[in-house]
């Protein structure tokens, strides 16, 4: 897809210089992250790990100074085209009380609970020629052996009037309070999903959406809700099974959002049973600095694939730059499966509108969990992350 040249507000030489500074800053992040990971592997206590985490934030900030100019660059396309995206890089460390710990720097392949999308780079182009809008994005999950680089968004939306739109192509699921995108998260790790994975990712198909002052909603028919090919695409066929999603949102009460949705995969192909997921969440701006939310998700996909997730959430803004997220969440597998409760605190420092740093500590309390035959009763998660948006 051809993209028009930049306007005169940024000369080609300036753009090249900005790109070079951005690349230098990003490489510095990786060098520092590898050094931090090497140091942490020599530590044996959570206290040492926590102190190292605190020291990591200013060091990453220094490494990213060269990229800050990008956040202030006035890079424009014409009236019809926009270019956006993000680069998210994280160091994460998961330490169970028994068994092996897992850590990684800018590595999406590591099986760190809750950390699936913390490392991600995405570039998106949007073409708006009313009443038609087309969106395409390229996504990179570093060091993932399959789908490392993928065409993530690939859809077109037609505004048919009276608040209704028709969309066809490849797009993200409706479900989930916490965003698929790290740039829209309030913390590094997801609340739950480690065992049940009830929130779908991308799939292909068509959908009809509507919006009004008080209500919005939609229904989608897709190749599959869930997928054996990972979160970046559906199963690519409707011969053996298919999926449907629907949702409705109510926003007539000031500062309050009520959301309800359902997804259903039919039996066939990779699905040995019908799978039905119901997702309910609410968000309320309690005061100007305080936002609260709660979510409950129930999934029923037959024996071994049914259970529920829940979360309670508070985000508090302390200043123009500093905020913190506090969260308690859990997951319960039915049929005598494992379960956990998770406690999370995640301070964040926003340098400007385009650059945010996060550091997170989460505590897991497990029940009936014995991976590889090793009983685990608790675990600690530490993480630091930088997210640059444009």
- How many Cβ atoms sit within 10 Å of the Cβ of residue 301? 20
Can you give the pLDDT at residue 143? 87
Instruction: Tell me the sheet residues that pair with 112.
Output: none
Can you give the pLDDT at residue 78? 85
Q: Which residues of 182-206 are buried (b: 16+ CB within 10 A; e: fewer)?
A: bbebbbbbbbbbbbbbbbbbbbbbe
CA-CA-CA-CA torsion sign (45, 325, 108, 70): negative
Rounded Cα distance between 374 and 158, Å, is 53
Q: What's the fold here for domain 77-389? A: Porin (2.40.160)
Can you give the pLDDT at residue 118? 95
| pTM, full prediction | 0.81
Can you give the pLDDT at residue 251? 98
For the stretch 72-119, pLDDT in tens is 433 557 889 999 999 999 999 999 999 999 999 999 999 999 988 899
Can you give the pLDDT at residue 145? 72
Give, for all 390 residues of the chain, the pLDDT tens digit. 333 333 333 333 443 444 444 444 444 444 444 444 444 444 434 433 443 444 344 444 434 443 443 444 335 578 899 999 999 999 999 999 999 999 999 999 999 999 888 999 999 999 999 999 999 999 999 988 765 789 999 999 999 999 999 999 999 999 999 999 999 999 999 999 899 999 999 999 999 999 999 999 999 999 999 999 989 999 999 989 999 999 999 999 999 999 999 999 999 999 999 999 999 999 999 999 999 999 999 999 999 999 999 999 999 999 999 999 999 999 999 999 999 999 999 999 999 999 999 999 999 999 999 998 999 999 999 999 999 999
Can you give the pLDDT at residue 36? 42
Can you give the pLDDT at residue 148? 76
Can you give the pLDDT at residue 144? 82
Can you give the pLDDT at residue 75? 52
Beta carbons of 186 and 304 less than 8 angstroms apart: no
């Amino acid at each position: 897809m051809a993209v028009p040249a930049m306007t005169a507000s940024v000369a080609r030489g300036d753009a090249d210089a900005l790109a070079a500074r951005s690349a230098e800053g990003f490489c510095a992040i990786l060098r520092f992250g590898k050094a931090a990971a090497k140091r942490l592997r020599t530590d044996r206590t959570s206290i040492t790990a926590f102190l190292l985490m605190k020291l990591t934030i200013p060091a990453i900030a220094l490494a990213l100074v060269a990229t800050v100019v990008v956040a202030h660059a006035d890079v424009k396309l014409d009236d019809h085209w926009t270019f956006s995206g993000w680069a998210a890089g994280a160091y994460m460390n998961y330490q169970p009380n028994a068994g092996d710990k897992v850590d990684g720097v800018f590595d999406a392949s590591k099986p760190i609970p809750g950390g699936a999308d913390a490392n991600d780079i995405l570039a998106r182009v949007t073409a708006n020629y009313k009443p038609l809008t087309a969106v395409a994005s390229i996504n990179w999950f570093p060091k993932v052996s399959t789908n490392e680089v993928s065409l993530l968004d690939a859809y077109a939306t037609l505004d048919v009037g009276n608040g209704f739109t028709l969309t066809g192509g490849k797009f993200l699921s409706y479900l989930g309070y916490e965003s698929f995108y790290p740039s829209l998260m309030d913390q590094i790790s997801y609340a739950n999903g480690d065992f049940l994975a009830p929130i779908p990712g991308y799939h292909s198909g068509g959908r009809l959406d509507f919006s009004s002052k008080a209500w919005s909603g939609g229904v989608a028919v897709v190749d599959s809700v869930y997928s054996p090919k990972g979160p970046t695409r559906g199963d690519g066929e409707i011969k053996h099974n298919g999926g449907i999603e629907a949702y409705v949102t109510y926003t007539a009460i000031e500062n309050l959002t009520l959301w309800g949705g359902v997804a259903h995969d039919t039996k066939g192909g990779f699905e040995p049973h019908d799978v039905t997921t119901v997702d309910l969440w609410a968000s309320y701006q309690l005061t100007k600095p305080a936002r609260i939310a709660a979510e409950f998700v129930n999934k029923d996909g037959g024996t071994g694939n049914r259970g529920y997730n829940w979360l309670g959430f508070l985000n508090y803004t302390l200043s123009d730059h500093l905020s913190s997220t506090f969260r308690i969440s859990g997951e319960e597998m039915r049929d005598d499966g494992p379960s956990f409760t998770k406690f999370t605190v995640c301070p964040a420092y926003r340098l400007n509108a385009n650059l945010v740093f996060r550091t997170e500590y989460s505590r897991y309390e497990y029940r009936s969990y014995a991976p590889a035959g090793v009983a685990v009763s608790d675990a600690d998660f530490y993480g630091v992350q930088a997210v640059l948006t444009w």
